[in-house]
Structures are given as C-alpha cells and as structure tokens.
C-alpha cells in the first residue's frame, strides 16, 4: 500500500472520528452544569460576532482565491476554522452555565405562556425553521469542512474545488443564521 493511500485513509479516519464525536460531545456537554458558575451572559453576543466574522472571512477567502491569492485564501480559511472552533467552545461554555432561553419568553420565567405565544404568533415558525436548519447544517457541515481542508493540504486542488462548492454555501449559511438566531432570541435572554 502506497504512502499516499495510507495518509488518505488516516485523514478519513480522523474526519469520521471528529464528525461523530464533536456533535456527541456537544450534546453531552449540554447536560453538564458547571457548579458555582453563574450564567455568563456576555458570551452570546461574542459568539454571534464570531459567527459574523466567520462569514466575512469565508466570503473574503472566496474572493481572494478567485483573484489568485492562494496564500491569503489559505490564511483566511484557517482563521475561519479557528473561529468556528472558538465559537463552539464558547457556545458550550455558555450552555454549561445557563438554561436554554425560550423564544417568546418575555418575562424570563422559563415558560412561554399562551399570551407570550400569541404575541409572537406565526413568527415563531420562522424562528424555529432558521434555528433547526442552522443546527442540522452545523452538524452536517463538519465533515465537509474537514474533507475540504484535507484536500487542500494534500494538494488535491481539483477535488478541493469540487467539494468547496458544496461546503462554502452550507458553512456560510450556518455562520449567517447563527447571527440571525442570536438577533431573534436576544430580547428573551434573562436580564
């Protein structure tokens, strides 16, 4: 078996491991509460800003590669991966110190009453559509990002370009909808 085939299989194994363990670890960590640590309310706007910055880096990286600036593209993509990792860490940290915020819970009691539900009306369907697609695609994009990255670092640029055309819009959607979800839920964060 050639070195190239073995290296590819090793990357594939790591991609599978990360793609499975990250969502499982995040789901598990949602059940963990850090004792003695109060809600870290500053984190949601920070990780929303990280999502916005990730979207900017993704768009700028595509512009740079189209202009032939490979090294700038590579640097921006590494920053985007780093920001997405930082987002995940802060997101889990926030949820390890706080109960989930309920959309429409205007009095912050943890329950969306009939009156509160009536005040948001059908808009809740829009919110939950964006939230659910954001969550599902944020899990689904992990292997795409990893495969796209591995194809770039192994010099398989034709294959890299092909999968990047799928990865980019999904990752961009996740980053942008992360900001939208924050904007929509932020009025309901406890004060």
| Structural domain total, the chain | 1
What domain range is 53 assigned to?
3-33+41-188
Q: What is the pLDDT of residues 139-160, one digit of tens each?
A: 999 999 999 999 999 999 999 9
Q: What is the pLDDT of residues 55-73, one digit of tens each?
A: 999 999 999 999 999 999 9
Please state, in angstroms and as integers, the Cα–Cα distance from residue 90 to each residue in 49, 76, 95, following that order: 12, 21, 9
Residue 2 has pLDDT above 50, yes or no: no
Q: What is the spatial distance between Cα 168 and Cα 58, in angstroms, rounded to a whole number?
A: 7
Residue 3 has pLDDT above 90, yes or no: no
Q: What is the pLDDT of residues 166-187, one digit of tens each?
A: 999 999 999 999 999 999 999 9
Residue 5 has pLDDT above 60, yes or no: no
Read off φ and ψ for residue 105, nearest 5 degrees: -80, 75
CA 190-130-43 angle, 5° bins:
35
Q: What is the pLDDT of residues 84-110, one digit of tens each?
A: 999 999 999 998 888 889 999 999 898
In 3D, which of 77, 189, 163, 179 has the Cα closest to residue 130? 179
- Percentage of the chain with pLDDT > 70? 95
Residue range 106-122: mean pLDDT, rounded:
93
Mean pLDDT of the chain: 91
Q: Give the lowest-confidence range in 3-7, 40-44, 80-84.
A: 3-7
Contact assessment for residue 142 and residue 18, using Cβ atoms and an 8 Å cutoff: yes
Global confidence as pTM: 0.90
Q: What is the CATH number of the domain that holds 130?
A: 1.20.120
pLDDT value for 8: 56
Residue range 28-36: mean pLDDT, rounded:
82
pLDDT value for 7: 56
In 3D, which of 88, 79, 89, 26 has the Cα closest to residue 55? 79
């Amino acid at each position: 078996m050639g070195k190239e085939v073995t290296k590819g299989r090793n990357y594939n194994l790591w991609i599978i491991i990360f793609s499975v363990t990250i969502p499982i670890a995040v789901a598990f960590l949602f059940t963990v509460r850090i004792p003695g640590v109060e809600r870290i309310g500053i984190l949601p706007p920070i990780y929303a800003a990280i999502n916005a910055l990730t979207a900017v880096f993704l768009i700028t990286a595509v512009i740079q590669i189209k202009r032939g600036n490979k090294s700038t593209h590579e640097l921006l993509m590494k920053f985007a991966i780093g920001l997405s990792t930082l987002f995940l860490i802060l997101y889990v940290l926030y949820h390890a110190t706080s109960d989930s915020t309920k959309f429409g819970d205007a009095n912050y009691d943890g329950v969306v009453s009939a009156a509160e539900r009536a005040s948001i009306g059908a808009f809740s369907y829009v919110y939950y559509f964006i939230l659910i697609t954001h969550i599902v695609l944020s899990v689904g994009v992990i292997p795409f990002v990893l495969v796209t990255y591995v194809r770039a670092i192994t010099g398989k640029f034709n294959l890299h370009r092909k999968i990047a055309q799928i990865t980019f819009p999904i990752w961009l959607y996740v980053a942008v909808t992360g900001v939208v979800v924050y904007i929509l839920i932020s009025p309901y964060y406890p004060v």
